[in-house]
Structure 1
């Protein structure tokens, strides 16, 4: 079993992708909404389909390094078993989703083929 990389605050900007299924849709929606309101962050749409490299339904939260140290522990404490991908926004999508990808909960395999040139 591979070791899950824990989030580290070493970039200027990030996305957190909250993964969920039909059974956890309501909880995930409220978690993302609360994170947006509590930390004054931009929260994307609730995707009830696969989007980009994500192998599960997801919702994206955009945040910066100044929010990291408050948001990440809050997400960890309140995720209730959901998996959350946290990745840097460095300008290199492949590196962001591999080298700079961190996890709250169990890591899942991303579809990196969309980044192939």
Structure 2
């Protein structure tokens, strides 16, 4: 599925006007990369036609995220659907879900919801 991309955020391109209210960071390593790639494709298919943007695979740590990941961005209206889907489909991958309030430290700590083991983030970048 090709998604129109024309707005750059966190090295990803989002559709113009996309409501970035929540992020989900889905972490993987080399041993789980194939599963993560498959999960990403399943996410794109599962949320086709809905206000969910699934980003590219990010092969190295970036910002506070020390290991590879991909992101899903979505508005509050589909929060429950996305989080329940991730709960069922994530396998053994760790997932961080957080609101985007403009306060990155708050978003990644106090407002963080973890599915699976918590990944130790690099909070010093904030």
TM-score range, shorter chain: 0.7 to 0.9
1:36 is aligned to 44
Shift in Å at residue 47 of structure 1?
1.0
Task: Answer yes or no: is the 8 Å Cα contact 1:55–1:110 preserved in 2.
Answer: yes
Gaps of 5+ in 1: 1-11
1:80 paired with 2:91, answer yes
Distance in 2 separating the partners of 1:33 and 1:89: 24
Match of 2:30 among 4, 8, 22: 22
Shift in Å at residue 33 of structure 1?
2.4
Distance in 2 separating the partners of 1:71 and 1:80: 15
Aligned pair count? 104
SS of residue in 1 equivalent to 2:26: strand
Distance in 1 separating the partners of 2:98 and 2:92: 19
Q: Highest relative contact order (Cα 8 Å, sep 6+), 1 or 2?
A: 1
Shift in Å at residue 42 of structure 1?
1.1
Gaps of 5+ in 2: 1-19
TM-score by length of 1: 0.83
> Root-mean-square deviation (CA), in Å?
1.3
Distance in 1 separating the partners of 2:95 and 2:122: 16
Shift in Å at residue 36 of structure 1?
2.6
Match of 1:53 among 45, 64, 67: 64
